[in-house]
Structure 1
Amino acid sequence: MEKLHFSIIINAPKEKVWETMLGKDTYGKWADVFIPEIYYAGDWSKGSKILFLAPDETGKISGTVNRIKDLGS
């Protein structure tokens, strides 16, 4: 299988990129491309639970529960 690699240069400080990717007000704006109307409940602090939620085709809310781990471990 052929592997594809894409890269992009973002002209912004890394803090702004993380804020845009993970902020409650901005997460759904980019993640909606993959899962329409997705949002999350919870926070990104180590050890916390976070729920990723979205309505299905009938309007019922469903999703997954995840636990945030320290990426350094």
Structure 2
Amino acid sequence: MEKLSFEIQISAPPEKVWSVLWDEISYRQWTTAFTEGSFYQGTLEEGSIVKFFDPDNNGMYSQVVKNIPNKEMKFLHLGEIYDGVEVPQEWGEATEAYILEENDEGTKLMSEIQTTAEFKEFFEDKFPKALQFVKNLSENQL
């Protein structure tokens, strides 16, 4: 596993950034950095399973291991979804976390990912773009 970290400073309070990250409509907007038409199904309560999809009904499913509103969201990725069918994977501690820290300028948003080598380049390319979308949405939406 490789640990990747990304961060961005956002001129908005943590509550606004959190809303942009997890509200259904804005989630669909910022995740276009990864795949156009991305969405999720399920609740974001700790312990629940959430499914992340592309428009073709492919994606992955994960367990919410931490949800501290306006502070931290962490997922443990369990497997992939092909044409709507869940396929468990042996990824070990494949996690994805979003950490929000309030500061004098607004919010520092950090993302930490534990990933396999095969996805490293993809995330290094896409995550900075995704965080820039979150910044733009957080600073410019009413």
If the TM-score is normalised by the length of the shorter chain, which range does it land in? 0.7 to 0.9
Structure-1 separation of matches of 2:46 and 2:6: 29
- 2:96 equivalent to 1:68: no
TM (norm. structure 1) is 0.74
Structure-1 separation of matches of 2:50 and 2:26: 16
- Structure 1 unaligned runs (5+)? none
Number of aligned residue pairs: 64
TM (norm. structure 2) is 0.40
The answer to which structure, 1 or 2, has the higher relative contact order (CA under 8 A, 6+ apart) is: 2
Runs of 4+ in 1 over 4 A off after TM superposition: none
Which deviations, in whole Å up to 9, do the C-alpha atoms of 1:23-73 show, x marking residues without a partner?
111101011111111000012110011000012xxxx3111111100278x
**1:8 CA displacement:** 3.1
- Structure 2 unaligned runs (5+)? 69-142
Instruction: Report sequence identity in percent.
Output: 30
Higher helix share: 2
